A and B are shown apart, each in its own frame.
Chain A
């Protein structure tokens, strides 16, 4: 093991703080440097929108009235309500030997870590084959499982997205830990029929760690899992883990 994986176990932060830190990870990373991993949770719950998603498609005042944050991600994709989840963000070099030369290889490298983490929890999962361009233009991220997303028993469990620039990338992803991501539907500007369909799709199409493990998970449970996740990343990348504590 020649390289190091610097790891920030960053606890629970607000949405704006989480996205600002992920943007800073990407901004400060230079091609060829050792990768950096950040693991975190969210409080209050936060709706994030994809980089190119129109904020007008969401009832921002209702999000604020619920006491939730609303923030844009530096990555693509569609809206997510982050509430009960464990989130990872990793920055690295691509093209390069560690994460491979292509977008596909970088996803698959990170997926090895995610699948190993789930396996340690006793959860058998798989990488999904893909979604259509039409699905990718919908409003809700967890509505469909894109190529490279992680599913178990046919239901999406982890959704990830990437930003690539100047030979480096940021990938972050949501590991669903409870069912509150489904609350997103209440903030969509949809008629009742369409809303009911989105609710049903999310209920049928997603699962979470609590459901898979058969018990509710506390923030402390997730913090402990975060350390296991970090070690799974280091092992999958063949790097020595270096725990940096919280950010800053």
Chain B
């Protein structure tokens, strides 16, 4: 079951947008599929708070016992928070990738970019191949 409260990329990232103090804040993570595919995660490298990125820029890496996968930002914007808990406990990416294992929060620069991302149904279809 793919949650329908967020958008997805074909690189298996998700972004959920919330309104905070009049700003649109996107919380970004990787999907259950990505976490399962990588296997046991041992390191998470995240960007500096305050840094700005464009959509699809690489912003960090997730290293499992077998691979380093680059993390791409689904939307342009300024990083306003990173999840220090996953830096300290990378296994959160495996145990709860869709919630507690979120990675970065971004102040959206161009909210219309969300329109080109996959909705839950389209992402579910991607997973089914």
Interfacial residues of chain A within 18-57, with CB under 8 A of chain B in the complex: 50-52
Main secondary structure of the interface of B (DSSP, over half): strand
Q: Which residue of B lies closest to A78 (CB)?
A: B42
- Taking a contact as CB atoms under 8 Å apart, the answer to whether B63 and A164 are in contact is no
Q: Indicate if A136 sits at the interface (CB-CB under 8 A).
A: yes
Whether B67 pairs with A76 at a CB distance below 8 angstroms is yes
Does B111 interact with chain A (Cβ within 8 Å)? no
Contact of B67 among A132, A133, A164, A166 (CB under 8 A): A164
Checking A103, A132, A163, A169 against B37 with a beta-carbon cut-off of 8 angstroms, the contacting residue is A103
B3 contacts the other chain (CB 8 A): no
Contact across chains for B39 and A76 when beta carbons are under 8 A apart: no
Interface residue A102 (Cβ < 8 Å from any Cβ of B)? yes
Q: Which residue of the partner chain, among B37, B65, B67, B129, contacts A131 with CB atoms under 8 Å?
A: B65
Contact present for B68 and A146 (CB under 8 Å): no
Of A133, A163, A164, A169, the contact of B65 (CB 8 Å cutoff) = A133
Instruction: Known contacts A52-B45, A136-B42; decide if A76 and B37 are in contact (CB<8 Å).
Output: no
Specify which of B39, B42, B67, B91 is in contact with A163 (CB 8 Å cutoff): B67
Residues of A within 8 Å of B, CB-based: how many? 26
- Residues from chain B with a CB closer than 8 A to the CB of A197 are none
Tell me which of B39, B42, B69 contacts A164 (CB under 8 A): B69
Closest residue on chain B to residue A136 by CB atoms: B65
Q: Once the chains bind, are B70 and A164 in contact (CB under 8 Å)?
A: yes
Q: Is the CB of B67 within 8 A of A51?
A: no
Chain A nearest CB, measured from B12 CB (Å): 11
Q: Closest residue of chain B to A163, judged by CB? A: B68
B55 on interface, CB distance cutoff 8 Å: no
* Complex CA–CA separation, A131 to B58 (angstroms): 29
Contact check, A74 vs B67: say whether CB atoms are below 8 A apart.
no
For this complex, 20 residue pairs linking A to B, each with C-beta atoms less than 8 Å apart, are: A51-B61, A52-B42, A52-B61, A52-B63, A75-B67, A76-B63, A103-B66, A131-B65, A132-B40, A133-B40, A133-B42, A133-B65, A133-B91, A136-B42, A137-B42, A148-B66, A163-B67, A163-B69, A166-B11, A166-B70
| Chain A interface residues (CB < 8 Å from chain B) | 50-52, 74-76, 101-103, 107, 130-133, 136-137, 146-148, 161-166, 169
